Amino acid sequence: DEFMEEKEHCSEKDFLLGVLHEGLKKLPVKHYEALRLTILESRGLSLRNVCARSGIPYSTLRHRSKQGLCMMRKYLERTLRDRT
């Protein structure tokens, strides 16, 4: 019984990771790069420090990140809704 629960948990986790990965691949390159810089690889740096390292203006990176998150949210909502 415990083994089956663990197996179901792992398959659910794998499914969700797959959905996230697919959603990121569907983003326009500029939005993907913004999310990669600000969330996936920021390593605790402030947005201003990420901007200084990347050479992308603060307002541009912030805007693209927000748009990318909005696109990801819509994709996840649609995908998870369609699954049920």
DSSP 3-17: HHHHHHHHHHHHHHH
Taking 80 as the threshold, does the pLDDT of residue 55 lie above it?
yes
* pLDDT confidence band for 57 (50 / 70 / 90): very high
- Please tell me the predicted confidence (pLDDT) of residue 1: 67
Q: What is the mean pLDDT of the chain?
A: 90
Give 3-state DSSP helix, strand, coil % of the chain, rounded to 5.
85, 0, 15
Taking 90 as the threshold, does the pLDDT of residue 11 lie above it?
no
Kindly state the average pLDDT of the residues 70-83.
92
Cα separation, 62 vs 45, in Å, equals 14
Taking 70 as the threshold, does the pLDDT of residue 41 lie above it?
yes
Taking 90 as the threshold, does the pLDDT of residue 2 lie above it?
no
